[in-house]
């Protein structure tokens, strides 16, 4: 079986930043303190030293703050982390792979990155399959396995990574609900209602800044991800030979492009969206200059809070729209790319590293990584953690990112800085999204041929997409271009490989 994850985690850097986490041993208290099995206990007075390469998604962590001091008390681990700015991570990792100079543990990227996939096949990382076995020695990882994460993370039937657990509900369509309320417009539930709501907001010009309707970037950024399932782009579509067509090349994708073309023609998208970067797009929604954004659910509070600096009545909430082929709810795999352990690591140390990650795959450790220490970083209010000022400062993505964690459907939905009642409303809002949403099958199905040939067409495809949206070419021209790509012999071969991967995944799921 050759099943792999397709979503590339952006990541790495030209500038590596190393930080050491020196940890004192503690075997008391919660599950995080219990680092492992016999191998760890035999050396409980000797810190486990691990060098790592990891993406940096926020400011460089202060490893001497109160959170990381507590981490040191809970583990017997000394981490030497090379923090790499996320935008450059993949580039940096590929350089490491080319030279063979990789740390003991690295953050993985998508299996559709040819250099990374070939590094796995060439034996640069440990095959963990014989060590994990039936997971009887790793009960916490076994619970993760039971959610299916290892099914999606096999290469030729083998396990090379420890996936980092995340909630499936992730993306959403953020809207300025206070602007809708002021115009007495209910939260839209269909594409037509959504477009009409944007038109009404742009016309009303609530801030006097001529706000954008839907802010986005690149070739539609997060908005594209949100709307694809609503147009059926994730629905399996086959060519006449039974080959599974990649979603971007389906007629449904062209339907979505045509819909965005309508938004652009009505002045509801930024004129320069194709050249905008994500930070520019986010700034528009965060500063009261846009009505809507495709982003993560927990950003509802983030942009409510930032806009309340301008308007104390501001309120950002996620909308649920029904498209022609389903809901515009893009589910993610219930994991993020995980840890890969260099084959240069001795077997005895490999076992100790597995013990360490086993200890992080608990609900207690998840809460610790997300909220910190009770009484220091948060207090409990009506059953929900409420962050202190210090907690809001210290608890960031880096606090939990390098760990396995355990599955929690609310993770990536809650915002640690939001009032408890706001988080309760969010959880209520998304409670049925896993049933309504769809997962992109190409986030785990793989074709070596597609990975090899798509880079030759990616830029041209993106250009054609933009041209179709802004009206430089007709939508029929775009459909003809898709058909041209679909009929390429190498593309037909890729579609057959996707079909084979689909069958292999179905046959091996749950083994």
3-state secondary structure 387-430: ECHHHHHHCCHHHCCCCCCCCCCCCCCCCCCCCHHHHHHHHHHC
One domain, residues 21 and 53: yes
Inside any domain, residue 3:
no
At 43 the pLDDT is 52
Q: How many domains does the chain have?
A: 2
CATH number, domain with residue 452: 3.40.190.10
One domain, residues 277 and 186: yes
One domain, residues 268 and 221: yes
Inside any domain, residue 6:
no
* Domain final position from 362, 385, 412: 412
One domain, residues 262 and 177: yes
One domain, residues 97 and 206: no
**Strand ranges (DSSP E) for 68-114?**
77-85, 105-107
- Report which DSSP code applies to 88: B
Inside any domain, residue 33:
yes
* Domain final position from 369, 384, 412: 412
Q: Check: CB of residue 31 under 8 Å from CB of residue 108.
A: no
C-beta atoms surrounding 5 within 10 Å: 26
Angle at which helices 89-99 and 114-121 cross, to 10°: 40
One domain, residues 173 and 302: yes
One domain, residues 115 and 240: no
Residue whose tokens read 């207090």: 379
Inside any domain, residue 4:
no
- Report which DSSP code applies to 443: G
At 44 the pLDDT is 55
One domain, residues 154 and 175: no
- pLDDT tens for each residue of 458-505: 999 999 999 999 999 999 999 999 999 999 999 999 999 999 999 988
Exposure class string for 406-443: b at 16+ Cβ within 10 A, else e:
bbbebbbbbbbbbeeebbeebbebbeebeebbbbbbbb
Q: Enter the tokens of residue 60.
A: 């460089």
Domain hosting 379: range is 17-159+338-396+405-412
Inside any domain, residue 265:
yes
One domain, residues 361 and 426: no
Spatial separation of the C-alpha atoms in residues 451 and 453, rounded to whole Å: 6
Q: State pTM to two decimals.
A: 0.78
Instruction: Note the Cα 263 to chain centre separation in Å.
Output: 27
Inside any domain, residue 333:
no
At 111 the pLDDT is 82
C-beta atoms surrounding 456 within 10 Å: 10
One domain, residues 358 and 388: yes
Which residues of the chain register pLDDT less than 70?
A: 1-45, 510-511
One domain, residues 236 and 363: no
Q: Residue 386: in which H helix or E strand, if any?
A: strand 384-387
One domain, residues 347 and 495: no
At 61 the pLDDT is 87
Inside any domain, residue 12:
no
Spatial separation of the C-alpha atoms in residues 284 and 215, rounded to whole Å: 7
Inside any domain, residue 433:
yes
At 491 the pLDDT is 98
* Domain final position from 357, 387, 412: 412
- Report which DSSP code applies to 188: P
């Amino acid at each position: 079986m050759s099943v792999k994850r397709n979503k590339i985690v952006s990541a790495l850097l030209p500038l590596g930043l190393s930080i050491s986490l020196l940890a004192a041993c503690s075997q008391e208290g919660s599950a995080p303190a219990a680092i492992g099995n016999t191998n760890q206990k035999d050396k409980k007075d000797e810190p486990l030293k691990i060098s790592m390469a990891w993406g940096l998604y926020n400011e460089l962590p202060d490893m001497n703050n109160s959170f990381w001091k507590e981490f040191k008390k809970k583990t017997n681990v000394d981490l030497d982390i090379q923090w790499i700015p996320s935008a450059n991570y993949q580039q940096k990792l590929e350089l490491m792979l080319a030279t063979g100079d990789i740390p003991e543990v690295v953050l993985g990227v998508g299996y559709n990155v040819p250099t990374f996939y070939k590094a796995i096949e060439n034996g640069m990382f440990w095959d963990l399959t014989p060590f994990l076995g039936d997971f009887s020695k790793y009960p916490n990882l076994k619970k993760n396995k039971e959610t299916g994460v290892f099914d999606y993370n096999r290469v030729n039937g083998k396990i090379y990574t420890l996936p980092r657990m995340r909630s499936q509900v992730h993306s959403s369509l953020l809207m300025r609900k206070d602007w809708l309320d002021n115009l007495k417009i209910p939260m839209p539930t269909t594409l037509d209602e959504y477009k009409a709501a944007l038109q009404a907001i742009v016309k009303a010009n609530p801030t006097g800044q001529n706000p954008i309707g839907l802010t986005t970037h690149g070739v539609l950024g997060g908005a594209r991800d949100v709307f694809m399932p609503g147009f059926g782009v994730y629905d399996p579509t086959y060519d006449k030979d039974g080959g599974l067509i990649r979603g971007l090349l389906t007629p449904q994708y062209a339907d979505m492009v045509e819909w965005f073309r309508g938004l652009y023609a009505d002045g509801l998208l930024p004129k320069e969206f194709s050249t905008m970067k994500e930070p520019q797009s986010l700034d528009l929604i965060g500063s009261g200059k846009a009505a809507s954004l495709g982003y993560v659910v927990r950003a509802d509070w983030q942009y409510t809070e930032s806009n309340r600096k301008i308007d104390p009545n501001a309120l950002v909430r996620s909308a649920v729209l029904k498209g022609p082929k389903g809901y515009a709810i893009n589910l993610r795999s219930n994991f993020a790319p995980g840890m890969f352990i260099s084959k240069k690591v001795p077997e005895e140390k490999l076992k100790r590293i597995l013990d360490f990650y086993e200890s992080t795959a608990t609900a207690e450790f998840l809460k610790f990584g997300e909220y910190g220490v009770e009484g220091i970083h948060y207090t409990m209010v009506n059953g929900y953690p409420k962050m202190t000022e210090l907690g809001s400062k210290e608890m960031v993505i880096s606090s939990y990112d390098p760990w396995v964690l355990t599955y929690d459907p609310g993770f990536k939905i809650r915002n640690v800085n939001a009032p408890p009642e706001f988080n309760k409303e969010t959880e209520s809002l998304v409670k049925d999204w896993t049933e309504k949403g769809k997962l992109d099958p190409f986030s785990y199905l793989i074709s070596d041929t597609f990975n090899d040939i798509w880079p030759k067409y990616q830029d041209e495809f993106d250009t054609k997409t933009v041209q179709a949206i802004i009206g430089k070419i007709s939508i029929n021209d775009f459909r003809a271009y898709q058909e041209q790509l679909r009929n390429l012999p190498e593309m037909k071969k890729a579609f057959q490989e996707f079909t084979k991967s689909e069958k292999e995944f179905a046959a091996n799921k749950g083994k």
